[in-house]
């Protein structure tokens, strides 16, 4: 349902919020590896997320890198989707029709209407910091790498 861009933008933002600080900025290599994403694709996504400090902040140079401010941590998840121009996922027709509405519904309109409302609430009411806190609790992950085997 989400585009690859939106998926990686969410993962990158969560990772940077978990691991980076203004004093310990993360480099592109670390972010790409941390979210199991190609470096060039991660760079393009971070470009979108850092425009005008919308979500992610960055500093260039030797001690540069990426981090989230306290203000950014309080942003709703929807801000990430907006930064990568993918917020339509929570507003558009599930079949991608331009004219889908109450008066001219697609075959899935009625069933998807309730789901779309829940998605909108999820993305608007959940903050980036809440996702970080949930991730830090334990068994949650944000990459496709296999978990390390437990030693007995």
The model's pTM is 0.85
Q: Which residue has the higher pLDDT, 78 or 135?
A: 78
Q: What SS3 class is residue 3?
A: coil
pLDDT tens-place string over residues 82-129: 999 988 888 888 898 988 889 999 999 999 999 989 999 999 999 999
What token pair was written down for 32? Answer: 């790409």
Cα–Cα dist 6/12, whole Å = 10
| Long-range residue pairs from 58-63, CB within 8 A, at least 24 positions apart, any chain | 58/25, 59/25, 63/25
Cα–Cα dist 47/55, whole Å = 11
Please say whether the beta carbons of 145 and 36 come within 8 A: yes
**What domains appear along the chain, each with residue ranges and CATH number?**
4-85+127-136 (1.10.10.10)
Q: Which residue has the higher pLDDT, 79 or 141?
A: 79
């Amino acid at each position: 349902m989400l585009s690859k861009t939106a998926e990686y933008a969410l993962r990158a933002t969560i990772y940077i919020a978990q691991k980076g600080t203004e004093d310990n900025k993360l480099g592109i290599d670390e972010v790409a590896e941390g979210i199991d994403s190609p470096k060039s694709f991660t760079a393009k996504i971070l470009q979108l997320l850092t425009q005008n400090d919308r979500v992610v902040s960055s500093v260039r140079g030797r001690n540069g890198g990426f981090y989230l401010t306290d203000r950014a941590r309080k942003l709703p998840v929807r801000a990430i989707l907006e930064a990568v121009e993918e917020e339509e996922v929570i507003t558009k027709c599930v079949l991608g029709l331009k004219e889908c509405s109450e008066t001219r519904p697609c075959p899935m309109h009625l069933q998807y209407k309730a789901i779309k409302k829940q998605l909108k609430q999820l993305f608007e009411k959940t903050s980036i910091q809440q996702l970080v806190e949930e991730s830090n609790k334990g068994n949650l992950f944000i990459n496709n790498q296999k978990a390390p085997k437990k030693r007995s």
